[in-house]
Amino acid sequence: MERYDFAVIGSGAGGAGVAARLVEGGASVLMAEKGGFTEVRPDAMESVNRYYFNGGYFTVFGNVLLGIPTGIAVGGTTTINSGTCMKTPWPLLERWQERSRGRFQAQSFERILDVVGEKINMRRAPESTMSRSSRLILEGARRLGIAGAHLLERCENGCQGRGRCCFICPSGGKMTSYKAFLEPLRNHPRFHIKIRHELADIEPAHRARGPARIRLRSLDTSRVETVECRALILSAGALATPYFVRRFQLGRNWRLAGDGLSVHPATKIFAHFDEPVEGWKGVPQGVGFTVEGQERVRFEGVYTPPELAAITMPLEGRRLKWWMDRFGHVATFGLMIQDESRGRIRYPLGPGYPYVRYIMIEADRRRMLRAIRTVAEVFFAAGAKKVLLPVNRKANEFDSARELGREDFSRARPQEIQMMAFHPLGTCAMGLVTDENLQISPGIFICDGSVVPESLGVNPQMTIYAFALRLAEHLLKETLA
């Protein structure tokens, strides 16, 4: 039987961060990852099929049609995210401290965020990798008097601006959790990773004094092996971790696991220009801004390759062909909502088939439609000749800002808005399902997006990394003391 100080389930931002710091602190760590190592694929759709959960076709039920793409690979969702780095907003940190009555320390977490920035090589995207879409957005924002549009900070080391961040970086320049935290441990004697393995069991007889034994199952051979460890860290992600909590009834509030899901509902707008845009050149999410009066909306760049754009544009027939024939002249820009809406996740068919229900409330619907109009106006100010809105209505193409202004689509229902959700959070919230040290029961901890107590309004990877380093310090002090 293999024995380790800690076992970590999942290799995304939470799992990789906590594992690396534990090994650095002298602990032995076993990591189990359901996915495998990634390879660059020539076609974006092939990457989606290989490295996205359920081949990228996982969606939710409720009053929205909302896809939630997450990664299944070594590095988790950091292998398919945009690389954008944003610190946890200070007002949220203060609120978490107040709610915890000081057990969560805002200033301490802020210092850990600075450490994370160094670990993942966080830096502002250089102008040399700015896409044409980003340049057009900056120009349109300037003409409309929108202050503060700027290059975003990213985690990268050698980015070549090849426009494939979300489909496995072809140059290896994006700092995924594997590259930043796990690759340096490749030959470390105290670290071992089992790819294509899943958590099968936590031995019930040992719950009273912690999970002394867990069982892992190989997805390739179905072989089950038992591992002994001092503590278990669940880092399977906000969509999967609640399954284990509910299955093994972990903690006093295990029935709340899966509730409180926030997702940052997001969408994108397409615009056609006379000049070539060639959106595949440059960093897709290189530029962002906020707008006064729309404080719960963050505007950020995006690029969708043609093989995916063809199935995501709310068009068909000749109208769709018109856009695809001119795709080299099409710019794209996106936005996301710091949602007040919440969802829940359950597992009637097991961990591989989660059932998610999410109801978009009226306030978020209004925010989304107003923000869509804002991006369209920015594109027209930049010189766009035609703009396509992500609204499944006949009137969703416009040839001018004046024509756009005459159209009232404010009553579009949530299910008529074409959206995605890239940041599932909150399903095992700190202070509700776990305590402030992310412990859920003796010897069992959670560290991934599920512990984030509320919708962040910013890209969450830095927050999750910071939770990971914070948890590792606690475990080194309390478990190995």
Residues 6+ apart with CB under 8 A from 129: 159, 160, 161, 282, 283, 286
Q: What is the pLDDT of residue 209?
A: 57
CA torsion sign, 467 to 468 to 469 to 472?
positive
Query: What is the crossing angle of helices 461-478 and 106-119, to 10°?
Result: 110
pLDDT confidence of residue 55: 83
| pTM listed for this prediction | 0.96
Q: What is the DSSP string of 326-368?
A: TGGGEEEEEEEE----EEEEE-TT-TTS-EEEEE--HHHHHHH
CA atoms of 454 and 260, how far apart (whole Å): 8
Residue 207 has pLDDT above 60, yes or no: no
pLDDT, tens digit (0-9, with 9 covering 90-100), for 421-451: 999 999 999 999 999 999 999 999 999 999 9
Indicate the residue type of 394.
K
Q: Phi-psi category of 181—alpha, beta or left, where left has phi over 0 and alpha has psi -120 to 50?
A: alpha
Mean pLDDT calculated for residue range 65-82: 94
- 481, pLDDT greater than 70: no
How confident is the model over 466-477, as pLDDT tens digits?
Answer: 999 999 999 999
304 conformational bin, left if phi > 0, alpha if psi -120 to 50, beta if neither: beta
Q: What DSSP element (H or E) covers 378?
A: helix 362-381
Q: What is the per-residue pLDDT across 280-337, written as a single tens digit (0 to 9) for each?
A: 999 999 999 999 999 999 999 999 999 999 988 999 999 999 999 999 999 999 999 9
* Residue 149 pLDDT exceeds 70: yes
Please say if the pLDDT value at position 211 is more than 80.
no
Does residue 74 register a pLDDT over 70? yes
Q: How far apart are CA 225 and CA 204, in angstroms?
A: 16
| Confidence at 138, pLDDT banded by 50, 70, 90 | very high
| Angstrom distance (rounded) from CA 481 to CA 476 | 7
In this prediction, residue 50 carries a pLDDT of 93
The stretch 207-233 carries a mean pLDDT of 87
Q: How large a percentage of the chain has pLDDT more than 70?
A: 98
Contact, 465 vs 120, CB < 8 A? Answer: yes
Residue 205 pLDDT greater than 70, yes or no? no
Given this model, what pLDDT does residue 306 score? Answer: 93
Q: Which of 289, 238, 286, 270 is nearest to 418 (CA)?
A: 270
The pLDDT score that the predictor gives to residue 204 is: 56
Q: Supply 67's token pair.
A: 């896809």
